Amino acid sequence: MSDWIGMEQADFDLREGAVLADLLAEIFNAFREKSPEQLWNHEHGAFARPVRAFTGESPINDTGAPLTEGQEVIFCLMLAGG
C-alpha cells in the first residue's frame, strides 16, 4: 500500500472515541488523489481489496473497534496464491 500512496507512515488526529471506520475515512480523505482503483473503490468509499488492520500483533476485525490516543494501526493487503 505504501508504494501506491507514496508514504511508509502517516499520522492522523482523530476525535476522542474514534473507531477504525473513522481512521479509514481520514486515510481516504488524505490520500484520495493518490489511491488507485486497485487499492480504493472510490464509488463505495472502501478498500477495493481485502485489507487487514493490526495493532501490535492483534488483528482489528471490526470497523467499529475503538482506537486509543497514540495507537499505531498497520494495514496489510491480503494476497492470495498458491
Q: What is the predicted pLDDT for the residue at 42?
A: 74
What CATH number corresponds to the domain at position 52?
3.10.20.30
pLDDT in tens, the chain (82 residues): 667 677 788 899 999 999 999 998 888 888 777 777 777 777 777 777 778 899 988 999 898 999 999 999 998 877 776 5
Please give the residue range of the domain that contains residue 9: 2-77
pLDDT of 1: 67
Whether 82 is covered by a domain: the verdict is: no
Q: Please, are residues 52 and 58 in contact by the beta-carbon 8 Å criterion?
A: no
- Burial category of 67 from C-beta neighbours within 10 Å (exposed 0-12, middle 13-18, buried 19 and up): buried
Domain count for the chain:
1
Q: Tell me the C-alpha distance between 78 and 82, whole Å.
A: 13
